[in-house]
Structure 1
């Protein structure tokens, strides 16, 4: 599936999740409909910490259409770390990072190898 956009309310929820979990990271998995990221999946057993967040893939329900991940960077640096890229390689094709101060422009989308990907924000 070619992912080209994210729903505005989904992006706003990711930014709010970053604000609410600050100064700890959060992590979630993403799903899409018709090429538009539309759903945030919180997986039981996910752990958010001051320096990282983890998602237990053995807890992901079978048949869930996971296209990527989302997590926060409380330090405000919206660029994937080496650990992020290792995680991206096993969790789909689009990865969103939201960062402090979690405003409308404080996010980025990346491919599994950490290259920025432009996503349209749609209603």
Structure 2
């Protein structure tokens, strides 16, 4: 039974359309960071929620955690690193466990390979681009 539960909790991938949107959001908000909450449907990250009260600067984007949407399909978060570093900062590692299981970092120059996925504890996690 635990095996089935683990399989249910795993993300199979991210929709190509959503990944394209996240890369565009990174470019459009550059040199400021952006942040969003990821939502999954049937194991595929395919939607985002932009959270009211989110603030962005060149150094960080802060989501007002009290404004996070309720729901069972929250998969994690996505945010940009305008400096292009595709590795979580200490602030990211403190934020990840509060917002879900999977976290995307979108980096400059925001091309098709300028992103990475991490688990809530900051471990790299490979996901497939679907569609």
Q: Shorter-chain-normalised TM-score: which range?
A: over 0.9
Kindly provide the CA deviation profile for residues 80-102 of structure 1, in whole angstroms up to 9, marking residues without a partner as x: 01110100011100000000000
Q: Does 1:3 align with 2:11?
A: yes
**Under a length normalisation based on structure 2, what TM-score does the superposition of the two structures give?**
0.90
The structure richer in helix per residue is 2
Residue 5 of structure 2 is matched in structure 1 by: none
Q: How many residues align?
A: 123
Unaligned runs of 5+ in 2: 1-8
RMSD between aligned alpha carbons?
1.0
Q: Does 1:67 align with 2:75?
A: yes
Distance (whole Å) between structure 2 residues aligned to residue 24 and residue 14 of structure 1: 14
Q: CA deviation at 1:62?
A: 2.8
Residue 25 of structure 2 is matched in structure 1 by: 17
The structure with the largest alpha-carbon Rg is 2
DSSP-derived class of the 1:89 partner? helix
Distance (whole Å) between structure 2 residues aligned to residue 68 and residue 61 of structure 1: 12
Runs of 4+ aligned structure 1 residues displaced above 6 Å come to: none
Distance (whole Å) between structure 1 residues aligned to residue 70 and residue 100 of structure 2: 15
Distance change >3 Å, CA 76–CA 4, structure 1 → 2: same
Residue 53 of structure 1 is matched in structure 2 by: 61
